[in-house]
Amino acid sequence: MTYEEAVASAPPGWSMFELSDIEKLPAASKARALTSIPASELVAARSGDADAGERVRRGLFWTFLYQLRPELWDALASAEPVHPHALGLIHELGADRGRVLEIGAGSGRFTRHLASADRLLAVDPSLPLLHLLRTRAPRASPVAGWAETLPVVDRWADATVSCSSVDLDPDVVAEAERVTRPDGLIVAINPPSGARPGWTAERFDPDDVRLPERDPWIDRIFGTPVPPSQVVWRRR
């Protein structure tokens, strides 16, 4: 997702964070966040331009959330379960068995459905989220890392999966291909929309999912939860 797309799609809760929260981010996340913002925009924001400051806060909403308020993401993930038909398709494909690598595992919403894997690596750049994941999926091995530079050896995974966490852009796909064995599976639930030649996709109706009871503040921060309901996959 580009900076402009992140700014435009930020949910209502972006205003809970301040520009100064950039300094609270872990060093690696801070450096990555700063490189994602146009230099002139950052200078303007830090010089007191209110509009630029708002755009920066909107653009960094998810980074702020994952690193500084992981319990809020965990609450949203609990209120927004993966569509059961999507989970059924994952099982039919065999993407939950053998050696499974999950990219952007977060606090374990999808990870806990991969318990039948022989080995399960859960990669995410947020240590606070990985700490929560340990309680959701105790069989998983949590590993800190970015989707574009996975800390995994070549051809390790029988299946590389993700759920509402990564774009299928060239760098991410190249890394997924590197860590997946030949004829292994690469599967993404709810990646951003776009043309994907060579991929197969199946979409289920998110309105078929009965959402669990949730606190009203979840909707005020994130909008109405939408269960992840599309599966996109291909063979390595």
pLDDT band for position 192 (cuts 50, 70, 90): confident
Domain boundary residue, one of 68, 97, 115? 68
Strands 119-124 and 141-144: parallel
Instruction: Please check whether residues 153 and 108 belong to one and the same domain.
Output: yes
Domain interval for residue 208: 76-235
Instruction: Please check whether residues 112 and 179 belong to one and the same domain.
Output: yes
Residue 233 in this model has a pLDDT that exceeds 70? yes
Over residues 8-56, the pLDDT tens digits come to: 999 999 999 999 999 999 999 999 999 999 999 999 999 999 999 999 9
Instruction: Please check whether residues 95 and 206 belong to one and the same domain.
Output: yes
Instruction: Please check whether residues 64 and 80 belong to one and the same domain.
Output: no
Instruction: Please check whether residues 122 and 180 belong to one and the same domain.
Output: yes
The CATH number given to whatever domain includes residue 109 is 3.40.50.150
Instruction: Please check whether residues 155 and 187 belong to one and the same domain.
Output: yes
Q: List, in sequence order, the alpha helices (H) in 80-223.
A: 84-93, 127-136, 170-179, 216-222
Structural domains counted in the chain: 2
Over residues 69-99, the pLDDT tens digits come to: 999 999 999 999 999 999 999 999 999 999 9
Distance from C-alpha of 59 to C-alpha of 36, rounded to nearest angstrom: 9
Distance from C-alpha of 159 to C-alpha of 193, rounded to nearest angstrom: 22
Quote the tokens at residue 35: 């490189």
Domain boundary residue, one of 68, 95, 122? 68
Instruction: Please check whether residues 157 and 224 belong to one and the same domain.
Output: yes
210-226 b/e with 16+ CB inside 10 Å = b? Answer: eeeeeeeebeebbeebe
Instruction: Please check whether residues 220 and 174 belong to one and the same domain.
Output: yes
Instruction: Please check whether residues 26 and 7 belong to one and the same domain.
Output: yes
pTM for this model (two decimals): 0.94
Closest CA to 7 of 45, 48, 31, 37: 37
Instruction: Please check whether residues 44 and 84 belong to one and the same domain.
Output: no
Mean predicted confidence (pLDDT) in 219-231: 96
Domain boundary residue, one of 68, 91, 120? 68
Closest CA to 65 of 83, 51, 77, 81: 77
Instruction: Please check whether residues 111 and 39 belong to one and the same domain.
Output: no
Instruction: Please check whether residues 7 and 105 belong to one and the same domain.
Output: no
pLDDT at 88: 97
Cβ neighbourhood burial of 102 (10 Å; 0-12, 13-18, 19+) = buried
Residue 195 in this model has a pLDDT that exceeds 80? no
